[in-house]
A and B are shown apart, each in its own frame.
Chain A
Amino acid sequence: MPLDRDPADRTYKVVGHRHNRPDGIDKVTGRAKFGADLAAPGLLHGRILRSPHAHARIKSIDTSKALALEGVKAIVTAADFPDHPQVLEDGELTNIRYNVMAREKALYDGHAVAAVAASNPRIAAKALKLIEVDYEVLPHVVDVELAMKDDAPILHDHIRTEGMEDAPDCPTNVAERIELGYGDVEAGFAEADVVIERQFRTGAAHQGYIEPHACLANISGDGSGDLWCCTQGQFMVRDVCAQLNGMDVSKLRVTPSEIGGGFGGKTTVFIEPVAVALSRKAGKPVKIVMNRGEVFRATGPTASSAIWVKMGCKRDGTITAAQAELKYQGGAFPGSPVSMGAMTAFACYQPKTLKAIGWDVVTNRPKQAAYRAPGAPMAAFAVESIVEELAHTIGMDPVDFRLKNAATSGSKSAYGPTYSDIGLVETLEAVKAHPNYAIKLGPNQGRGVASGFWFNFGGQTAVTLNLNIDGTVALSVGTPDIGGSRASMCAMAAEELGIPYHHVQTIIADTGSLGFNDVTDGSRVTFASGLATIEAARNAAKVLCERAAKIWGIPADAVTWENGCAVPAGPNAGEFPPMTIKELAKKAGETGGPIAGHFEVSADGAGPSFATHLVDAEVDRETGRITILRYLIVQDAGKAVSPAYVEGQMQGGAVQGIGWALNEEYIYNDKGVMENPGFLDYRVPVASDLPMIDTQIVEVPNPGHPYGVRGVGETSIVPPLGAVANAVAAAVGARPEELPMSPPRLLKLMKEQAQPLAAE
């Protein structure tokens, strides 16, 4: 969809201004209803029994004692999710079924093996202890490189390496090999004056949303019912739960609750199909609420990785060759985001030659779920570390080095397609001009830069807009609001209709009330639901014009919509005073009935977003403790519909990335059991750990959106890992190759490698 006109010329009345978000008051006063906040008469409480073993054959499950306990109303196991044809023909659905309830084997510590519904949570907890599972404990593997070895314990007998012509026909943990690139990298390295290569590792980071997964299923005697849950996609939940339970999709209505964070982790199901199965079996509503330990052990963190990168450049800074081999483990099932890691790794640059190989590996860990720009941050960490080192080695300013090689509007991307209008250069120039770039550093302090890219996504989207009797508007969208998107929808609808922001109410509709929508992912909502909102509003405005034409007795095309009123299109149309939206709403019943506009689309042209981050860090050389002193984000938003929430997205992504860089990681003991399933030892940054995160929005309009919007939610987590690592490397004179840079690791690195105080 093309831009209306040059967005730079357009003045917006609502869009681009700062508004209070419609969900704000309810969230800060506690009125907002989250996943666990719904109750129903006769409610039962569901609990899930989880494997204490990383890898074990389930020889038998005896539920008889638990079923005999007073108050236990239903128990389900894998046997309650039989082989429906629609499941078997879809590999990913089969994996999800296995993930939500272990079948022959438990594949990771925390894997669900049975579930109970009981009249209260205490009975449910007691019943879990009465379920007898006979396990045969098997050797396990949690490390990506160990899992790739020939003698590694095998998770799935059916996996053969896809994407490899000469793959041996025997079971393996390597699910797929991918390769992309162009040119001859060996020739590229030969042309280079400087070549640097390193091997990096990153830990598995969890999305760390504050709200644990929660749902309430209520399936009636006729086999149809409702599900209430916190999710990033009610349609996905409906479709998956219905199929896993052998129901027609029409039999299940899913209503999304308010959501206390998702970051990608709620784009799939865990407890929801189980609650449906329990409710159906018990004939009563069943609520399941995970605790934090379950969230860590059994929902998706992102992949951990081992990444080798080699790059070469000429003395003038030109990158002549870029090569990477990425190994990602995505837990117990295929589907790690390694291909996105490979595609994004060099997307900020235009290396003359390129080769990237990716390996998707399964291990005895929870099935990974999407996490904000899935696969990109760890690849960017490795690449940006080398980029910074190349710049230093040839004595070039690191921002200038990036500018010299930067992807530009119309350039061919490293992963294939040609970029439309993009804003990487603008972010780099803004960083260079920012006062932070010139602040003098003290001892033990270092400065790091990193850039980052994310594709962004459009996807299937449906929006409906209804005019109320008083001229205000009810807008229904199907994409759960995980970052202030309702505010942006209100602003875009108001902008189009020429009415005040607060005259629009936006709701996230249930699956029965709106057409299909893809989940909230790929930073797509402000772009795709926004685009559909604009078009729905335009369609409604067309109807409004028709109604005015009818009242005035002139042809419909002789009326246009301006500033919230129908007005005659020109002098020939006749002389009528503008008719307001309020007047038209009031007369709707007499002029043809309810006034509405809707729009359905598979949105293309999402337009990637680039960012550059600048960070100053200080290292305590005696303890390895890192303090982030200053942090600046510059990111291209295309058009910031709600600048405050764009800044919020930028800051939030940076904070999560800083956590990943400094302390967050899954820690396993020698039995493959997670050691830190809680926020005490899975260390996300706390507020006092961080300085104010400075932000600067760059606006290079995306030609794919009427206002130029591009998604901003994910790009912000791509640069921080590399930026922080670069700052630390500058401070201590040694390069961190393993994340997180926890104090014990950094202290060890400094002992082994650091030069004495890098005097600035």
Chain B
Amino acid sequence: MRYESPTTVEAAVTLLANEAGKAHILAGGTDLLVRLRSGFIEPDLIVDLKRIDALKSITMESDGLRVGAAVPSAMLNEHADAVAGWPGVCEAAILIGSTQVQGRATISGNLCNASPAADSVPAMVAARAIARISGPQGMRDVPVEEIATGPGKTSLAKGEFVDSILLPKRAPGTSDAYLRFIPRTEMDIAVVGVGICVTVDKTGTCTAARVALGAVAAKILVVEAAAQALIGTKGDEAALNALAAACSAAATPIDDKRGTVAFRKEIAGTLAKRAAKIALSRAEKNL
């Protein structure tokens, strides 16, 4: 097994593209090293992204905030613009593991690990985040929900990796929230996760909404019916109940050690309601 730590994106692409065996990206390593140690993967090449300066920064661009693939979630949560503009994404990222884990874990790694229970991903999906992919063919931008194709599987081609994630600029009156359910307070995997992003007008009426559910299907679910339940309302009890019902109906979880089907469906609705309330009240403050 070889370990490489290139200093440019191009060098990383070349290493990945030229490797005949199994190549893995190492960002924070909080998933990769665990899998390596427990014998789930036996890579021939590991390419560490943390020496690539270009991937270590958070920058405000004209169309939004760009978060490099080597930025740990702790750093994201110390970035004032990120926390002010995308509180839902940030609160999802800061749920990952524990203080120690957050010093390493990246949201790109969370995305590319392709776990249906990844915490920051429903929040990013709700925020319509865009992943920038570098590869042998150059650069391409794709919505984050197109990265994972199933548990542990991604749409990335050989030699490609995510070099950054763009959190698109928001219209006035827009904000987001993320909630997850775990039986403990930390160091756990989401039984259900809900990311919601909403826009409200001056009357407090919701004009746009996007609702994403984690851990209740093989992939992150975007629940259009839940968004529709909110749009045109002020988030009254009837609207929230319709939102909850839509989320419960959309969820297709499995019975497993983390929860039953009935429990997960119900909690998807319960959390969606709670997250929507938070997102709406944040959005009103952004008018």
Contacts and interface: CB of A to CB of B under 8 A. Distances in A.
Interface of A: 125, 291, 622-625, 662-663, 667, 675-676, 679-681, 683, 685-686, 688-689, 742-744, 747-748
A510 B189 CA distance: 43
A742 B183 contact: yes
A171 B45 CA distance: 56
B3 interface: no
B181 A625 contact: yes
B260 A744 contact: yes
A169 to B, nearest CB: 40
Contact of A686 (B38, B187, B260, B263): B187
A744 B258 CA distance: 9
B183 A743 contact: yes
25 contacts: A125-B39, A291-B38, A623-B181, A623-B267, A623-B270, A624-B263, A625-B181, A662-B183, A667-B257, A679-B187, A680-B187, A683-B183, A683-B184, A685-B184, A686-B185, A689-B184, A742-B183, A743-B191, A743-B263, A744-B259, A744-B260, A744-B262, A747-B266, A748-B262, A748-B263
* Residue among B39, B189, B267 with max Cβ neighbours from chain A (10 Å): B267
Which among A623, A688, A747 has the highest number of chain B CB atoms within 10 Å? A623
B188 interface: yes
Give me the 5 closest cross-chain CB pairs, A-B, nearest first: A744-B263, A688-B185, A675-B257, A667-B257, A622-B270
Interface string B38-51: 11000000000000
Interface string B259-273: 110110011001000
Interface string B164-197: 0000000000000000010111111101000000
A291 B38 CA distance: 9
Nearest to A125: B39
B7 to A, nearest CB: 31
Contacts of B262: 744, 748
Interface in B236-272: 256-260, 262-263, 266-267, 270
Given A675-B256, A744-B263, A680 B270 contact: no
Tell me what chain B mostly uses at the interface: helix, strand, loop, or mixed.
loop
Contacts of B187: 679-680, 686
Nearest to B181: A623
Interface residues on B, range: 20 to 34
Contacts of A622: 270
A744 B191 CA distance: 11
A487 to B, nearest CB: 30
A625 B185 CA distance: 10
Main secondary structure of the interface of A (DSSP, over half): loop
A666 to B, nearest CB: 10
B120 to A, nearest CB: 18
A285 to B, nearest CB: 24
B275 to A, nearest CB: 13
Contacts of A742: 183
A689 B185 contact: yes
A732 B165 CA distance: 45
B41 to A, nearest CB: 14
A100 to B, nearest CB: 23
A291 B270 CA distance: 38
A342 B259 CA distance: 33
A688 B97 CA distance: 13
A742 B184 CA distance: 10
B30 to A, nearest CB: 13
Interface in B182-237: 183-189, 191
Interface in B34-72: 38-39
A367 to B, nearest CB: 23
Contacts of A685: 184
Given A125-B39, A743-B263, A663 B184 contact: yes
Contacts of B188: 680, 683
A686 B186 contact: yes
Nearest to B98: A686
Among A291, A663, A679, A686, the most chain B Cβ lie within 10 Å of the Cβ of A686
Given A662-B183, A683-B183, 10 more contacts: A667-B257, A686-B184, A686-B186, A688-B185, A743-B259, A743-B263, A744-B262, A747-B263, A747-B266, A748-B263
B191 to A, nearest CB: 8
Contacts of A125: 39
B128 to A, nearest CB: 28
Nearest to B42: A122
Contacts of A743: 181, 183, 191, 259, 263
B95 to A, nearest CB: 12
A440 to B, nearest CB: 25
Contacts of A623: 181, 267, 270
Contacts of B263: 624, 743-744, 747-748
A622 B259 CA distance: 15
A747 B264 CA distance: 11
A308 B68 CA distance: 59
A348 B263 CA distance: 38
A675 B254 CA distance: 14
Nearest to B187: A686
A339 B176 CA distance: 57
A746 to B, nearest CB: 10
A667 B260 CA distance: 13
A628 to B, nearest CB: 11
Contacts of A744: 259-260, 262-263
Nearest to A742: B183
A685 B185 CA distance: 9
Contacts of B258: 681
Contact of A681 (B38, B257, B266, B270): B257
Contact of B189 (A675, A680, A689, A747): A680
B169 to A, nearest CB: 35
A689 B186 CA distance: 8
Nearest to A676: B257
A685 B186 CA distance: 10
Contact of B183 (A291, A663, A676): A663
Nearest to A741: B183
Question: Which of B181, B258, B260, B270 has the most CB atoms of chain A within a 10 A radius of its CB?
Answer: B258
Contacts of B270: 622-623
B126 to A, nearest CB: 21
A667 B259 CA distance: 11
A683 B258 CA distance: 10
Contacts of A675: 256-257
A630 to B, nearest CB: 16
> Residue among B184, B186, B256 with the most chain A CB within 10 A?
B184
Contacts of B260: 744
A471 B122 CA distance: 68
B85 to A, nearest CB: 28
Contacts of B39: 125
A747 to B, nearest CB: 6
Contacts of A679: 187
A249 B39 CA distance: 39
A115 B259 CA distance: 36
A672 to B, nearest CB: 14
Nearest to B271: A623
Nearest to B185: A688
Contacts of B38: 291
Most interface-central of A675, A683, A685 (chain B CB within 10 A)? A683
A8 B97 CA distance: 50
Contact of B186 (A291, A662, A676, A688): A688
B97 to A, nearest CB: 11
A382 B172 CA distance: 57
A676 B258 CA distance: 9
A581 to B, nearest CB: 48
Contacts of A680: 187-189
Given A125-B39, A683-B188, A747-B266, A625 B183 contact: yes
A16 B187 CA distance: 38
Contacts of B257: 667, 675-676, 681
B19 to A, nearest CB: 21
Interface string B1-41: 00000000000000000000000000000000000001100
